[in-house]
């Protein structure tokens, strides 16, 4: 089973457990994110070990190739000097290193395949993690909006608000009554002495301005007639 598949199974198991408990969707997303982050840490730690093994195998293969080539050179040298026994012994040693190289190369191929699969799993998991974080932000906004709507609607249906509005209406009616009472007190009352003089003074000013205006207009008309 791949690392990504195993991580998916773990996440799904935890999500199903939370769904059975009717948990908050934000907790589900948060759990998924936490599981993915933990799995990424685990996978990357494993990848570091695998890459170290790969480098070690590269060194072993390189060393084995050098030994194989060296024993081949020795076999040729021994044969050239007429030492067939030494040449055969060198070829036996060369065969051991040839077999070791084949084993190391097989291990190297397996490790390369594992690294490729791990890289693919990490890429998929990282993509899912990014998607989960984006969804977490969207869910957080939606949850906040839903909470605000609940608070507003709760307030709208709160009896205390209705009582307060009713009291406002009562106060407005009382103010209307007071204003009406004040206006009624002035009904039928004559003008005060001060008000009478103010009216006279206003009439005098108007008459004076009217006489001046009339004289002015009359003067213009006489001048035109001459």
Tens of pLDDT, residues 156-212: 666 666 666 677 777 777 777 777 776 666 555 556 667 776 777 777 777 888 788
Query: Which residue did the predictor score with more confidence, 203 or 66?
Result: 66
Q: Which sign does the torsion angle of CA 216, 222, 225, 226 carry?
A: negative
pLDDT at 22: 47
Tell the CATH topology of 3-157.
Helix Hairpins (1.10.287)
SS3 content of the chain, % helix, strand, coil (to 5): 90, 0, 10
pLDDT at 157: 66
Is residue 127 within 8 Å of 8, Cβ to Cβ?
no
Tens of pLDDT, residues 116-154: 888 888 888 888 888 888 877 777 777 677 777 777 777
CA distance linking residue 13 with residue 7, whole number of Å: 10
CA distance linking residue 202 with residue 195, whole number of Å: 10
Is residue 118 within 8 Å of 47, Cβ to Cβ?
yes
Query: Structure tokens of 219?
Result: 């003067």
Query: Structure tokens of 193?
Result: 């002495």
Tens of pLDDT, residues 23-56: 566 777 778 788 888 888 888 888 888 899 999 9
Highest mean pLDDT, choosing among 6-10, 76-80, 207-211: 76-80
**Local structure of 52: helix, strand or coil:** helix
The domain locations on the chain are 3-157, 159-188, 194-219
């Amino acid at each position: 089973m791949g690392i990504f598949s195993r991580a998916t199974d773990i996440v799904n198991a935890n999500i199903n457990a939370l769904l059975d408990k009717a948990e908050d969707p934000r907790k589900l997303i948060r759990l998924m994110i936490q599981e993915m982050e933990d799995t990424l840490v685990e996978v990357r730690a494993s990848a570091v070990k695998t890459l170290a093994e790969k480098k070690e195998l590269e060194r072993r293969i390189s060393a084995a190739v050098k030994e194989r080539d060296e024993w081949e050179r020795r076999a040729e040298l021994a044969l050239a000097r007429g030492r067939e026994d030494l040449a055969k012994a060198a070829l036996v040693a060369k065969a051991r290193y040839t077999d070791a190289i084949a084993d190391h190369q097989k291990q190297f191929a397996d490790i390369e395949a594992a690294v490729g699969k791990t890289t693919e799993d990490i890429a998929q998991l990282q993509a899912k993690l990014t998607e989960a974080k984006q969804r977490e932000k969207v869910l957080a906004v939606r949850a906040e909006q839903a909470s605000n709507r609940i608070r507003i609607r709760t307030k709208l249906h709160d009896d205390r608000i209705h009582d307060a509005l009713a009291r406002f209406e009562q106060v407005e009616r009382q103010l209307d009554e007071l204003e009406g009472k004040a206006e009624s007190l002035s009904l039928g009352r004559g003008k005060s002495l001060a008000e009478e003089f103010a009216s006279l003074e206003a009439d005098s000013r108007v008459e004076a301005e009217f006489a001046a205006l009339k004289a002015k207009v009359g003067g213009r008309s006489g001048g035109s007639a001459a």
